[in-house]
Amino acid sequence: MSLQPGSIQARDAAAVLHPMVNLGAIEDKGALMIARAQGVYVWDAAGKQYLEGLGGLWSTSLGYGNEELAQAAYDQIKTLSFSHMFNGKSHEPGMLLAEKLKALVPMEASKVFFGLSGSDANDTQVKLIWFHNNALGRPRKKKIIGRMKGYHGITLASGSLTGLPPMHNQWDLPLDGRFIHTDCPHHYRFAEKGESEEDYASRLAHSLEQLILKEGPDTVAAFIAEPVMAAGGVLVPPRTYFEKVQSVLAKYEILFVADEVVCGFGRTGKPWGSQTLNIKPDTMTLAKALTSSYQPLSAVIIPEKMYAPILEASRKLGTFGHGYTYSGHPVCTAVGLKTLEIYARDRLFERAAQLSPKFQARLRSFADHPLVGETRGIGLIGAVEFVSNKANKAGFTPPGSIGTYCFERCHVHGLIPRNVGDGIAFCPPLIITEAQIDEMFDKFTLALDETLDYVTREGLLAA
């Protein structure tokens, strides 16, 4: 269907450069224009209702239209609408939120640096790691290891940490020299025949160590990882993976940066994905559910062992030359404070753990479907991966085409998930009910069966 001249979709296509999409599809069909939202539902400009199965962008943990968060923002705007943190200025909402985050995170936290997105937070992580090693007199120790299919943002630095080709192709990324990638820990796709999860984890840890030795341990500063890889396909690492990886990192004095942008704040059934996956991070990156996406806010948490040399260098240099206009914005941090208050008061992390068996059982029920090669997930996050041949795990040509088809059929049935390659991901608000979990997966079932009909008609399934 072509765009109608003068329609809101046509006007949007003519004015907005859209992120993370095939721009040709926007020009040809236009965007889905979302008009309003409440709870776990959104409505488009034509009035059609959708269950938000991805929580916005893995982020609206408290759903939509929360009056307490709206009031917190309103009250702060009336009291102090803006104040920066440059040149020795600060304010109470930022200070209080930093204190609370230090007390919440599963690491020995010293300082909190605020930004606006996971991308800028991971960019900050890179700069702090480089500054830290310069301050220690280790100018060669600058390389940072990401993982294939990992996602850490789209700035020049965080996009270089990311291990997804669409974020590199045509962008001249990764930046040369300081960004390298190790294996993707996806047992279903990359384990050898008969290889157990534990043996696969051992092989990945050995491969990581060989990469470090090849690059030179004195040149490798940090390793960054999501506890569960979200945008890469909701990839849950094999058993014992992080324990073995951390043993390698400790051997060569390499920092572990835990990217908790998606997994943080209850998503995996515990407060932090690091706790669920037995990670002991040196530093942490937070965003998204920090404010349930009601305001843009991110946070980088660093330990004293990083801060102390940075402080000493700053004394000598006379300044700490990093920061954003909106670092620690008072409205954003006030909403963050209220978000943390609601999490604690309503015991939402515990609630996510209680809902997890229901969510995961419905997800796993698709394993026998003719299109599904693997179901995977943990807590209230999961995905299904489509294959043309269940025996040899063959995908589709072109890659991603069937995931996109199913994604569009989900829209027809009033569901917004996320297409991740030839698969569909789910990450609903933590406030979702058991009945709404059933509604979400019932709608997906309709879309999945229609996708199977299409694949069958086109002769795309292996005999």
pLDDT by 10-residue block (mean), the chain, 463 residues: 88 96 94 97 97 98 98 98 96 98 98 98 98 97 98 98 95 95 98 97 98 98 98 98 98 98 98 98 98 98 98 95 97 98 98 98 98 98 97 94 97 98 97 98 98 96 79
Measured distance CA(424)–CA(125) in Å, rounded: 30
Decide which of 2.60.40.1480, 3.90.1150.10, 2.130.10.10, 3.40.630.30 is the CATH code for 32-65+347-457: 3.90.1150.10
274 within 8 A of 257, measured Cβ to Cβ:
no
Contacts with 16 (C-beta within 8 Å, 6 or more apart), sequence order: 31
Tokens of 67: 């009056």
Domain range summary for the chain, segments of one domain joined by + = 32-65+347-457, 68-345
Question: Over 273-339, what HEC string results?
Answer: HHHHCCCCCCEEEECHHHCCCCCCCEEEEECHHHHHHHHHHHHHHCCCCCCCCCCCCHHHHHHHHHH
Closest by CA position to 269, among listed 150, 363, 357: 357
332 within 8 A of 288, measured Cβ to Cβ:
no
Tokens of 189: 């796709």
pLDDT at 335: 98
pLDDT at 462: 82
Measured distance CA(417)–CA(32) in Å, rounded: 13
The CATH architecture annotation of domain 68-345 reads 3-Layer(aba) Sandwich (3.40)
pLDDT at 2: 76
Question: Over 367-393, what HEC string results?
Answer: HHCCCEEEEEEECCEEEEEECCECCCC
pTM: 0.96
Measured distance CA(449)–CA(207) in Å, rounded: 40
Q: How far is CA 6 from CA 16, 59, 416, in A?
A: 15, 33, 26
Please tell me whether the peptide bond between 271 and the residue prior to it is cis, using omega within 30 degrees of 0. no
Contacts with 161 (C-beta within 8 Å, 6 or more apart), sequence order: 122, 126, 144, 146, 150, 152, 153, 174, 179, 224
400 within 8 A of 409, measured Cβ to Cβ:
no
